Amino acid sequence: MRFEKEFSGFPYVFRFRSPSKWTISELEEGYVYFANRNELNDPHDSNPKLVQFTKNTTDLKKFYEFIGSSFPDEESKEDFLKNYTPEKLRDFMTEKIEFYVLHFGVVCFSMHLKNFPLWANYAENSSGLCLQFNVEKDKNLFNNLRPIEYIPEPNQIIYNPNSEKKTLAELFFQKTSDWGFEKELRLLKIHNGRHFFKKEALEKVILGYKSKPEFVEKVRKIVHEKYPETQVFLMKEPTEFDKISLSPL
C-alpha cells in the first residue's frame, strides 16, 4: 500500500468524526451535516460582527435604487421610499446580517489523514473514525470546495452589495493562524442541515486505534451493507513518529 498516494492529496478530503450516534446516523443515511456558525468551535469563525456594511454613499444609493425598482407595484415602492433612506437601509441590512449568516451551512474537511491533532480533537482521542471522500466522484456536493486562509487575526469584512468580488461568503473562509494545524478545506451551502453524498464518493472509512469493539463492528457492518465499494481500515497504535499503519477489516 502506497500510503501517501492512497490517503492524502487531491482528490481526497478527510472528515474526522467522534464515536457518536450522529456519526452512525451520517453513515447509515449517507449525509454530511452542514452546521451553522454558532455550532463551530472557534468563536471568531464566521462571526457576523466582523461584517460591516459599506458606507460608500454612491454604492449605497445604487443599492437603494435597485431595491426600490424591485417592488412589483407602485404602492409598495412608494411605501419603501417613504420609510427608508439609503442610510436607513444600510442600518436595516446591518441588523439582519447575523440572521442571514446563520442560514449558511458549513462543513469542514482536512487535506490529510495523518493529522494527529484532528484525531484527538474531532475523533475523540482516536476512538472515532475518519471518512475519506473522493471529491471527483460527487462534484455536485463538493462544488466550490475551498481551503481556509489562515491569518494573524480576524479581518473586518466591508460588505458591498454592488460588488461581485467581496461577498459575504468570504467571511466563512478565514480563520486565525492558531488553527493552521487543521489544514482545513471547507464547503459552504446556502442552507444548513443534512446534505447527502453519492455512495461511491466515500472511498474509505478509517477507525481510530482506540475505537471500542462494538463501535468498530457497527461501522464495519453498516459500510459493508450500504457501501459495497468502500474499504474499511482499523488504525494500529502508532509506534513511530509521524507514521500511521492500517489493517483492512
Q: Quick: pLDDT tens for 189-246.
A: 988 999 999 999 999 999 999 999 999 999 999 999 999 999 999 999 988 887 889 9
Residue 164's pLDDT is 61
Q: List the chain residues with pLDDT less than 70.
A: 1-5, 163-166
Longest dimension (CA), the chain: 74
Q: How far is CA 229 from CA 208, 223, 226, in A?
A: 21, 9, 9
- Is there a contact between 188 and 144 (Cβ–Cβ < 8 Å)? yes
Residue 165's pLDDT is 59
pTM of the full structure:
0.85
Residue 25's pLDDT is 97
- Is there a contact between 67 and 93 (Cβ–Cβ < 8 Å)? no
The burial of 10, by beta-carbon neighbours within 10 Å (0-12 exposed, 13-18 middle, 19 or more buried), is given as exposed
- Is there a contact between 208 and 244 (Cβ–Cβ < 8 Å)? no
Residues 233/144/18/239 CA torsion (nearest 10 deg): 50
Nearest to 219 by CA among 233, 240, 209, 229: 233
- The count of residues in the chain is 249
Retrieve residue 239's grid coordinates. Answer: 509506534
Nearest to 107 by CA among 193, 183, 18, 49: 193
Residue 166's pLDDT is 57
Rounded Cα–Cα distance for residues 34 and 132 (Å): 17
DSSP 112: B
